[in-house]
Amino acid sequence: MTNPRVHIGTDHAGMELSAHLIKHLTGLGYEVVDHGPKSYDAEDDYPVFCIHAAQAVMADTEAGVFALGIVLGGSGNGEQIAANKVKGIRAALAWNFDTAKLAREHNNANVVAVGGRQHTVEEAAALIEAFLAEPFSEAERHIRRIAKIASFEETGAISE
């Protein structure tokens, strides 16, 4: 599997982790695109940065470029919620190795959300690396379930 392009967005609560990840992942050979913020502001609002990162993942995906996203905050919850408002995004909150890897393996998640206040920088980086490196299983049952989410997103109707 070739490395995905990585789009990263955070708020003030994830800035230290974001800076670490940009350096660390670049060192590992990933192309990392930083969607901000550019400087620390304790009053900034995570939706701006996370939605920009998620939109960039979709723009790349639609152009045929393999891309994944990382959204960071204090808990990762609001960041996941914001990213999931972008059509086509499947953002998963990762809080241990299982949730990080299963997000790719079962859910084909294209964005990972992590709470910068819930882990050490090293622990969070390891979870994110695990997410980025894990392939989607391509199992029929997972494809079927993801297709039902996409169909609901498209039509507003639930297909049984």
Binding site: which residues?
11-12, 74-78, 107, 117, 141, 145
- Let me know if 154 is a catalytic residue: no
CA–CA gap between residue 65 and residue 3 (Å, rounded): 11
Q: How many CB atoms lie within 10 A of CB 105?
A: 17
Does residue 74 touch ligand 5RP according to CB under 6 A?
yes
> In the set 77, 96, 120, 151, which binds ligand 5RP (CB under 6 A)?
77
- Let me know if 79 is a catalytic residue: yes
> In the set 4, 9, 69, 73, which binds ligand 5RP (CB under 6 A)?
73
Rg of the chain on CA atoms, in Å: 15
> In the set 5, 9, 25, 46, which binds ligand 5RP (CB under 6 A)?
46
Does residue 83 touch ligand 5RP according to CB under 6 A?
no
**One of 16, 20, 24, 106 is an active-site residue; which one?**
106
Does residue 3 touch ligand 5RP according to CB under 6 A?
no
- How many angstroms separate the most distant Cα atoms in the chain? 47
CA–CA gap between residue 101 and residue 131 (Å, rounded): 5
For residue 159, how many C-alpha atoms fall within 13 Å in the half-sphere facing its CB?
12
What's the burial of 112, exposed, middle or buried (CB within 10 Å: 0-12/13-18/19+)? buried
Does residue 11 touch ligand 5RP according to CB under 6 A?
yes
The least distance separating ligand 5RP from the CB of residue 137, rounded to whole angstroms, comes to 29
Question: Closest by alpha carbon to 57, among 112, 1, 119?
Answer: 112
The least distance separating ligand 5RP from the CB of residue 124, rounded to whole angstroms, comes to 13
Give the distance, in angstroms, between the CA of residue 160 and the centroid of all CA atoms in the same chain. Answer: 28
Does residue 50 touch ligand 5RP according to CB under 6 A?
no
User: Which sequence positions are flagged as catalytic?
Assistant: 79, 106
